[in-house]
């Protein structure tokens, strides 16, 4: 389970560069409505309607199918790109609940420069390096679903501490 902070529209492309293993994104259904991007998004991602319980449950089945095919899963646990002044927003449970349910490790990844390069503020950003750091994996084999909050906060703390240092 690849999890990273969400800083800009570059994050998707940066994740493709950072990960050595093939993976599939889990993303919110609303993104499929974006012209051109949405066309491709629908074909290569597991979409979830966060307001629909059946959709959220269906993600587990689709994720298991992709895991069985040898793919990893990638989720941005903030659930969207936070306001520019927010260093790291709170994480949602989905990625951690899914990692525990499927007994797969969580791989925290820190993206440092997305907001400086291509933020969501119109005409902001500029050229420069896009840096990322892949952290030590969190194993989930001995965890139960009740441990998802602790896992979520431990992973968030790793990314937050790294962002504060850079």
Q: Where are the beta strands (DSSP E) in the chain?
A: 2-4, 23-28, 45-48, 72-75, 107-111, 132-134
Rounded Cα–Cα distance for residues 160 and 89 (Å) = 9
Judge whether 25 and 2 are in contact, CB under 8 Å: no
Confidence of residue 71 (pLDDT cuts 50, 70, 90): very high
Judge whether 114 and 10 are in contact, CB under 8 Å: yes
- pLDDT beyond 80 at 30: yes
Element spanning 97, H or E: helix 94-102
CA 7 from chain center: how many Å? 11
Confidence of residue 69 (pLDDT cuts 50, 70, 90): very high
Q: What pLDDT, on a 0 to 100 scale, did the predictor assign at position 122?
A: 67
- pLDDT beyond 80 at 145: yes
CA distances from 76 to 48, 81, 114 (A): 13, 9, 14
């Amino acid at each position: 389970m690849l999890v990273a902070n969400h800083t800009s529209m570059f994050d998707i492309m940066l994740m493709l560069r950072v990960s050595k293993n093939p993976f599939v994104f889990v993303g919110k259904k609303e993104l499929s409505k974006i012209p051109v991007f949405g066309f491709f998004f629908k074909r290569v991602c597991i979409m979830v309607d966060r307001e629909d319980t059946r959709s959220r449950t269906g993600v587990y089945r689709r994720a298991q199918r992709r895991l069985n095919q040898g793919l990893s899963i990638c989720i941005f646990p903030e659930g969207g790109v936070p306001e520019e002044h927010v260093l790291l927003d709170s994480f949602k449970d989905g990625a951690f609940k899914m990692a525990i349910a499927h007994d797969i490790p969580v791989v925290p990844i820190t993206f440092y420069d997305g907001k400086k390069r291509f933020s969501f503020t119109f005409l902001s950003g500029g050229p420069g390096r896009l840096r990322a750091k892949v952290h030590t994996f969190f194993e989930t084999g001995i965890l139960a679903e009740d441990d998802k909050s602790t896992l979520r906060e431990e992973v968030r703390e790793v990314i937050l501490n790294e962002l504060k240092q850079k």
